[in-house]
C-alpha cells in the first residue's frame, strides 16, 4: 500500500474527447460567445466610455469628478437608496404577512388570493404610477386622503414600487415558509409555548433566508426601476431616471455611462448577497422533511382573510382606476364612457403598431430565449470535461441579473451603434430588441432550466453513452420532453417580461420598432395619460391571456405527453 | 501487501485488465495502484464498505470518470483514455436510470437504434429481451408503472440489448427490498451464466458477493485487500480487514513463537504452520461456526473452558457469547450453536462448558498495539 509515490513518475491519463463532447462544447462556446457579445463586451465599452469626453477623448476620471461635484446628480444616489430601503421594508413586511396568511392560516379562497397577488407582474411598472396619479394626483378622487401631501415624489414612488415588487417578494417568502419543518411546530406546541413565542423562535428564524433574499431582490428591483419614478417622481431624482435624462434629454452619453457605473455598484452588491443567501437556503431545503399543516382558528383566519382581501382590493383598485380612466371621455369632468383613448394611432408613441410590435418581440423573445437558455443550461450541466469553460459559462449566465436594464440598453448604444462593429446591422431592428430582452432576463430563465436539469437522473447520459447513442438523441427524446413544464415556464416568463419591460429597450427601439411599453412612457410624457393607461391595460390583458393560455397548454401537455408521470 | 495484483492464471489471457490504476479527486486519492485481471465470462464482484472506491473503479473501467494514472485494457485493446461511447459495455445503476417518458419497449430499443438495423429486427430483439427477463406483458407500460424489481430487470435488458462484451452493475439490488433482492440475485446470476457475458458488479453486501460472484475483489480505502473465490476469501482471509468484513470472526489476543503452537492466554492451540505468518503479539482468529462444544467425556484437541454469558436466538441457530478465564479473561468469544446441539446438551446462560477450535480453522493476524 506504499505505491502512491511512484505514480508521480507516471504520465497522467489524458481523456480523449468523443465527437459528442466536442459538439456539446461547440454549442456551449456559441452560447457563451452570444453572452460575451450581448453582455460582456457592451458593458466593457460602456465602462470605457465613462472615462471619455463627449467627443470620445480619454479624460480619465474627469466625468466622475464632475458627477460627484454636481449636487443635482450625486443627490440621486441618496434618493435612490432611501426609496429602495423604505420600499424594501414595507414590501417585505406586507408580503410576509400575506405569505403567512397563505401558508399558515386556514382562510378560504387561497388559490384566488395567490393569483390576485401575482397581477403586478403582468403590468409595466409605469402603470401603477399612472393609477396613483388618477387616485391621488391633482384631480385624484382620493386626493383628500393625503391631507395636502403631494403624490408626485417619494411618497408616490414608494407606493407604486411596493405594488410593483409585492409579488416578487411574496413568491420568495412563500417558498421559505412552505419548506419550514412541521416537527419544530409540534415540538413547540407540545412544550406549550405561546403562539407569539413560536412565531419569534420558530417561524421567523426558519424564514430568515427567504426574508433576506426577498429584501435584496426588492432593493435591486427598486433601485434599477425606471418606470415608476419616471411617471410619478416629479422633481425627485433617482439614478435610473438620471441615466434616461442624460441620454435622451441632454444627449450626454458619457455622463449617462458614469451614472450607469454608479448604479451598477449597489445592484452588483445586492446580487452578490442574494446569491450567498440562496446557496444557504438550498442546503436548508434538502434537509427539511415534514410540511406544516395549519389548523383552523376562527379569529386568526378571519383576520388573515381580511388582511389579504385588503391587499387584493388595493391591487384591483389601482388597475381598475387605470381601466376606468382609459374609458372615460375627459377625466374628471366628463365621466361618460367611450373608446377614443384607444385611438393610439392619433398619439405619439407609435400607435397600435407598437402594440403588435410588442407581441412580436414577446413571441420572439420567448422562442429564441427559451431555446438558447435551455440548450446552454443543458450543455453546461451535462457536458463532460472542459471544467474551466463550464465555470466561465456559469459566471456569464449569472451576470445579467446584476445588470440594470437601463445600463444594458445604454451599453448597446455604445456597442452596436458603432459602424465598425460587424453586428452593427442589427441596430434599429427587432433583432436587437430580442437580444437585449433575452439577455436582460437570462439569469432567472437559466436558473429555472438548471433546477429542472439537476432533478434528472445524472446517469441518463452515462446510459446513453454506453449504448453509443448521440447526445442529441438523449436531449430531444428524453431531456426536452421530461423538462417540458420548466421549458414552458421559461417561455412564459420571457414573454411576460418582454411585454412589460421598458428599461431594457427604451434606448434601442427605433421608429419601426416602437413598443407598447415604451408607448405608455411616451404618451404619459406627452400628457396623454388616459391613452397611456389604456395601452398599459392592453399589456395587462395580453399577459393575463398568455398566462391563462400557458396554464391550459401545460395542463394539456402534461396530461397527454406526460402520462408517465402518473402511476 | 506488496502489489495489488491478482495472481495470474497462467495460460489464459485476461479479457479486462487495470494496471496501476490511480484516481485522484483533487488531493484525495480515491483509488491507489489498482491492478486487476478479469477473464472472459467471469462474474466478478467489487466488495467493500461504502466509500472505499468501488464505484470509482467501475466508472474508470467504463470511461465515465477516467482514472488519473494507469491503464485499462479490454479485449486486448488499450482503452485507457477512451470515452464511454468508444468502449464496449452495458451498465446498470442502483437508480435504474430508465427514461421515464419512454415505454418499456422504447427503453430497451434505445440502444438498438441508429445501428442500421431494420425496424422489424429491433422489435424482434426487444420482444426476445422482454421474454428473457420475464416481463413480456409489460412492454407498453411506462417505468413508473412497474415495481422496483421489474424496473431493474428492464434496465438489465436495456444494458444487454446490444450484446456488449462487458456488463457493469453498480449496486443494482441495493434499492430493492430484501425479498425481491434475493430473487433478483438468482435471476441476474442465471442470466449471466446463460449469456456468458463478462460481468463486474459493485456491492457492499457480502452475502450478495458470496452468492453471486465467481471471484470477489475485496476493497478498502482505495486499495485491493484480497482477490479470490468466495470460498477462498471466506476460508483464508488475507487480512484482518477481510476476515472481519466478510462473515463474523473472533479476534483473541495471543502470542506466536515460531512453532506450530499458539498461546491464547493459558491455552495452547495447535495450528497449521502454514497459517502462521507472524510472530510475537498476534491475533488468533476463528469463526463462530467453527467453535465446537465438547459433549460427553471424549476430550477434543485445542479445548478450553468458557462461561456462557448470553445466548441470542437467531432463528436457525444460537449466537452465544462466551468468556473464558483460561483463554483471556477479558475477550468475548462468539460461538454459533445449532438448535439441535443446544437441545441435546441443555446449555444455558451461566453454564461453564468446554469448547474447542479445530486445528485447521485457526488463522493468525498481526496484533493491534
Ligand atoms: N466526484 C468526486 N469528487 C470528489 N470525491 C469523490 C468523487 N466521487 C467519489 N469521491 C470520493 O471517493 C471515495 C470513493 O467513492 P465511491 O467510489 O463512490 O465509493 P463506493 O465504494 O461507496 O462506491 C469517497 O470517499 C468519495 O467521497
Ligand atoms: Mg458506490
ipTM: 0.86
CATH of the domain at A478: 1.10.3720.10
Mean pLDDT of the residues in chain A: 87
In whole angstroms, what is the distance from residue B90 CA to residue B70 CA?
A: 22
Closest ligand to B49 CA? 1
In whole angstroms, what is the distance from residue B222 CA to residue B236 CA?
A: 22
In whole angstroms, what is the distance from residue A88 CA to residue A538 CA?
A: 29
How many Cα neighbours within 13 Å face the side chain of A270? Answer: 26
A410-431, pLDDT tens digit by residue? 999 999 998 899 998 999 899 9
In whole angstroms, what is the distance from residue B105 CA to residue B121 CA?
A: 13
Asked if pLDDT for residue A560 goes beyond 80, the answer is no
Q: Which atom of ligand 1 is nearest to the CA of B52?
A: 21
For residue B19, give the C-alpha cell: 494496471
CB A491 within 8 A of CB A415: no
Q: Is residue A47 part of a domain?
A: no
Return the SS3 of B219: strand
Angle at A198 between CA A197 and CA A201, to 5 degrees: 80
Among left, alpha and beta (phi > 0; psi -120 to 50; other), residue A386 is left
A47-61, pLDDT tens digit by residue? 998 998 877 788 888
CB-based contacts of A143, cutoff 8 Å, min separation 6: A135, A136, A137
DSSP codes of every residue in B174-206: TTS-HHHHHHHHHHHHHHHHHHT-EEEEEES-H
Q: Is residue A5 part of a domain?
A: no
* Residues found in chain A: 567
**Residues of chain A positioned with their CB less than 8 A from the CB of B87:** 466
Angle at B101 between CA B97 and CA B107, to 5 degrees: 55
Q: Are strands B28-38 and B292-293 parallel, antiparallel or unpaired?
A: unpaired
- Is residue A290 very low, low, confident or very high in pLDDT (cuts 50, 70, 90)? low
Q: Is residue A7 part of a domain?
A: no
A70-86, pLDDT tens digit by residue? 888 888 999 999 999 99
B212-245, pLDDT tens digit by residue? 999 999 999 999 999 999 999 998 899 999 999 9
The pLDDT value given to residue A10: 66
- CA torsion angle A247 A252 A254 A258 (round to 10): -60
DSSP state, A248?
I
**Residues of chain B positioned with their CB less than 8 A from the CB of A562:** 101
The pLDDT value given to residue A460: 94
| Residue B73, φ and ψ in degrees, nearest 5 | -120, 145
CB A240 within 8 A of CB A229: yes
A15-54, pLDDT tens digit by residue? 898 888 899 999 999 999 999 999 999 999 999 989 988 7
CA-wise closest residue to A423 among A29, A30, A37: A37
Q: Between residues 526 and 565 of chain A, which touch chain B (CB distance below 8 Å)?
A: 561-565
* Residues found in chain B: 369
Interface mutation target, options A12, A460, A467, A567, chain B, most CBs of B under 10 Å: A467
CB-based contacts of A186, cutoff 8 Å, min separation 6: none
Angle at B229 between CA B228 and CA B230, to 5 degrees: 115
For residue A567, give the C-alpha cell: 402511476
The pLDDT value given to residue B5: 42
Q: Is residue A339 part of a domain?
A: no
Where do the domains of chain B lie, and which CATH numbers do they carry? 16-242 (3.40.50.300), 248-366 (2.40.50.100)
A17 inside 8 A of chain B by CB = yes
Q: Tell me the average confidence (pLDDT) per consecutive run of 10 residues in chain B, 369 residues long.
A: 44 89 94 95 95 96 94 94 94 93 94 91 95 92 91 95 95 90 92 94 94 95 95 91 91 86 88 81 91 86 91 92 86 91 90 91 80
The pLDDT value given to residue A139: 82
The pLDDT value given to residue A565: 62
pTM to 2 decimal places: 0.88
Return the SS3 of A304: helix
What percent of chain A clears pLDDT 90, i.e. is strictly above it?
49
Cβ < 6 A, ligand 1 pocket: B 25, 28, 30, 48, 50-56
Alpha helices in A328-399 (DSSP H): 351-382, 387-398
Domain tally for chain A? 1
Pocket test residue of B30, B55, B200, B206 for ligand 1, highest count of atoms within 8 A of CB: B30
The pLDDT value given to residue B109: 95
A108-147, pLDDT tens digit by residue? 999 999 999 999 999 999 999 999 999 998 888 888 888 8
- Closest C-alpha to ligand 1, atom 25: B51
Q: Is residue A54 part of a domain?
A: no
Helices (H) then strands (E): counts for chain B: 9, 20
For residue B2, give the C-alpha cell: 506488496
Instruction: Order the strands of the B77-78 sheet from edge to edge.
Output: B28-38, B16-25, B69-74, B77-78
B22 inside 8 A of chain A by CB = yes
The pLDDT value given to residue A102: 92
Domain of residue A455: give its range.
17-39+64-330+344-566
CB A327 within 8 A of CB A530: no
Q: Is residue A56 part of a domain?
A: no
A318-375, pLDDT tens digit by residue? 999 999 888 887 777 777 777 787 877 777 767 888 999 999 999 999 999 999 999 9
Q: Is residue A354 part of a domain?
A: yes
- CA torsion angle A34 A39 A42 A43 (round to 10): -160
CB-based contacts of B6, cutoff 8 Å, min separation 6: B35, B36, B37, B217, B227
CA nearest to A7 within chain B:
B69
Amino acid at each position: 500500500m506504499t505505491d502512491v509515490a511512484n505514480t508521480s513518475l507516471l504520465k497522467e491519463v489524458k481523456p480523449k474527447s468523443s465527437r459528442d463532447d466536442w459538439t456539446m462544447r461547440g454549442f456551449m462556446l456559441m452560447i457563451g460567445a452570444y453572452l460575451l457579445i450581448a453582455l460582456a463586451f457592451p458593458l466593457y465599452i460602456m465602462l470605457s466610455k465613462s472615462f471619455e469626453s463627449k467627443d470620445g477623448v480619454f479624460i480619465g476620471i474627469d466625468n466622475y469628478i464632475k458627477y460627484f461635484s454636481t449636487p443635482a446628480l450625486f443627490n440621486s444616489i441618496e434618493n435612490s437608496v432611501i426609496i429602495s430601503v423604505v420600499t424594501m421594508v414595507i414590501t417585505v413586511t406586507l408580503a410576509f404577512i400575506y405569505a403567512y396568511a397563505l401558508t399558515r392560516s386556514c382562510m378560504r379562497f387561497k388559490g384566488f388570493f395567490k393569483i390576485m397577488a401575482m397581477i403586478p407582474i403582468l403590468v409595466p411598472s409605469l402603470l401603477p404610477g399612472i393609477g396613483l396619479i388618477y387616485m391621488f394626483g391633482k384631480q385624484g378622487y382620493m386626493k383628500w386622503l393625503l391631507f395636502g401631501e403631494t403624490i408626485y415624489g417619494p411618497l408616490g414612488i414608494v407606493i407604486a414600487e411596493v405594488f410593483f415588487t409585492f409579488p416578487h417578494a411574496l413568491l420568495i417568502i412563500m417558498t421559505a415558509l412552505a419548506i419550514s419543518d412541521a416537527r419544530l411546530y409540534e415540538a413547540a406546541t407540545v412544550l406549550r409555548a405561546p403562539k407569539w413565542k413560536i412565531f419569534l423562535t420558530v417561524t421567523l428564524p426558519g424564514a430568515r433566508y427567504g426574508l433576506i433574499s426577498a429584501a435584496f431582490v426588492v432593493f435591486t428591483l427598486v433601485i434599477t426601476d425606471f418606470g415608476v419614478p419616471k411617471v410619478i417622481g416629479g422633481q425627485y431624482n433617482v439614478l435610473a431616471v438620471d441615466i434616461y435624462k442624460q441620454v435622451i434629454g441632454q444627449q450626454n452619453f458619457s455622463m449617462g455611462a458614469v451614472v450607469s457605473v454608479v448604479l451598477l455598484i449597489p445592484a452588483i452588491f445586492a446580487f452578490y448577497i442574494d446569491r450567498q443567501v440562496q446557496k444557504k437556503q438550498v442546503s436548508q431545503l434538502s434537509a427539511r422533511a415534514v410540511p406544516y399543516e395549519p389548523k383552523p382558528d376562527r379569529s386568526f383566519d378571519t383576520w388573515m382573510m381580511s388582511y389579504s382581501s385588503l391587499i387584493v382590493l388595493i391591487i384591483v383598485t389601482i388597475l381598475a382606476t387605470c381601466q376606468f380612466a382609459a374609458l372615460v371621455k375627459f377625466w374628471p369632468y366628463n365621466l361618460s364612457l367611450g373608446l377614443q383613448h384607444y385611438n393610439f394611432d392619433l398619439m405619439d408613441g407609435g400607435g397600435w403598431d407598437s402594440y403588435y410590435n410588442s407581441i412580436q418581440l414577446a413571441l420572439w423573445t420567448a422562442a429564441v430565449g427559451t431555446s438558447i437558455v435551455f440548450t446552454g443550461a443543458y450543455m453546461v450541466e451535462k457536458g463532460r470535461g472542459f471544467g474551466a469553460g463550464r465555470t466561465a459559462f456559469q459566471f456569464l449566465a449569472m451576470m445579467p441579473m446584476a445588470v440594470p436594464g437601463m445600463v444594458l440598453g445604454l451599453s448597446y448604444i455604445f456597442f452596436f451603434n458603432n459602424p465598425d462593429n460587424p453586428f452593427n446591422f442589427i441596430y434599429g431592428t427587432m433583432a436587437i430588441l430580442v437580444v437585449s430582452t433575452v439577455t436582460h432576463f437570462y439569469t432567472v430563465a437559466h436558473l429555472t432550466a438548471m433546477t429542472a436539469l439537476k432533478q434528472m437522473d445524472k446517469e441518463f447520459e452515462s446510459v446513453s453513452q454506453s449504448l453509443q447513442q448521440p447526445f442529441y438523441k438523449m436531449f430531444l427524446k428524453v431531456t426536452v420532453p421530461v423538462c417540458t413544464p420548466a421549458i414552458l415556464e421559461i417561455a412564459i416568463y420571457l414573454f411576460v417580461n418582454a411585454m412589460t419591460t421598458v428599461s431594457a429597450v427604451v434606448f434601442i427601439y427605433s421608429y419601426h420598432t416602437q413598443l407598447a411599453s415604451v408607448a405608455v412612457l411616451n404618451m404619459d410624457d406627452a400628457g396623454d395619460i388616459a391613452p397611456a393607461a389604456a395601452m398599459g391595460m392592453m399589456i395587462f390583458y395580453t399577459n393575463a391571456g398568455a398566462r391563462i393560455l400557458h396554464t391550459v397548454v401545460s395542463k394539456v401537455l402534461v396530461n397527454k405527453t406526460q402520462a408517465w408521470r402518473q402511476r | 501487501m506488496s502489489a495489488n495484483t491478482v495472481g495470474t492464471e497462467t495460460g489464459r489471457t485476461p479479457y479486462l485488465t487495470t494496471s496501476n490504476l490511480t484516481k485522484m479527486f483533487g488531493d484525495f486519492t480515491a483509488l491507489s495502484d489498482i491492478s486487476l485481471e478479469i477473464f472472459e465470462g467471469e462474474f466478478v464482484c467489487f466488495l467493500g464498505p461504502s466509500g472505499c472506491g468501488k464505484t470509482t473503479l467501475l466508472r474508470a473501467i467504463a470511461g465515465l470518470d477516467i482514472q488519473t494514472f494507469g491503464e485499462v485494457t479490454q479485449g486486448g485493446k488499450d482503452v485507457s483514455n477512451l470515452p464511454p461511447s468508444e468502449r464496449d459495455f452495458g451498465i446498470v445503476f442502483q437508480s435504474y436510470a430508465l427514461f421515464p417518458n419512454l415505454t418499456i419497449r422504447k427503453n430497451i430499443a434505445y440502444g438498438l437504434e441508429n445501428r442500421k438495423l431494420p425496424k422489424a429486427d429491433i422489435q424482434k430483439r426487444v420482444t426476445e429481451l422482454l421474454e428473457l427477463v420475464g416481463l413480456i406483458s409489460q412492454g407498453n407500460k411506462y417505468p413508473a408503472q412497474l415495481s422496483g424489481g421489474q424496473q431493474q430487470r428492464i434496465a438489465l435488458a436495456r444494458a444487454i440489448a446490444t450484446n456488449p462484451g462487458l456488463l457493469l452493475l453498480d449496486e443494482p439490488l441495493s434499492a430493492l427490498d430484501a425479498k425481491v433482492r434475493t430473487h433478483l440475485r438468482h435471476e441476474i446470476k442465471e442470466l449471466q451464466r446463460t449469456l456468458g457475458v463478462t460481468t463486474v458488479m459493485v456491492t457492499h453486501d457480502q452475502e450478495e458477493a458470496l452468492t453471486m460472484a465467481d471471484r470477489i475483489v475485496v476493497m478498502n480505502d482505495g486499495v485491493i485487500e484480497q482477490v479470490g473465490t468466495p470460498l477462498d476469501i471466506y476460508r483464508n482471509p488475507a487480512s484482518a480487514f477481510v476476515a472481519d468484513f466478510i462473515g463474523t470472526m473472533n479476534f483473541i489476543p495471543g502470542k506466536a513463537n515460531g512453532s506450530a503452537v499458539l498461546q491464547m492466554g493459558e491455552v495452547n492451540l495447535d495450528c497449521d504452520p502454514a497459517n502462521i505468518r507472524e510472530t510475537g503479539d498476534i491475533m488468533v482468529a476463528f469463526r463462530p461456526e467453527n467453535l465446537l462444544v465438547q459433549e460427553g467425556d471424549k476430550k477434543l484437541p485445542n479445548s478450553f473452558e468458557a462461561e456462557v454469558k448470553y445466548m441470542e436466538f437467531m432463528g436457525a441457530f444460537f449466537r452465544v457469547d462466551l468468556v473464558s478465564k483460561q483463554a483471556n479473561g477479558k475477550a468475548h468469544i462468539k460461538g454459533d450453536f445449532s438448535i439441535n446441539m443446544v437441545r441435546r446438551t441443555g446449555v444455558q446462560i451461566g453454564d461453564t462448558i468446554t469448547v474447542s477450535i479445530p486445528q485447521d480453522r485457526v488463522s493468525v493476524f498481526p496484533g493491534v498495539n
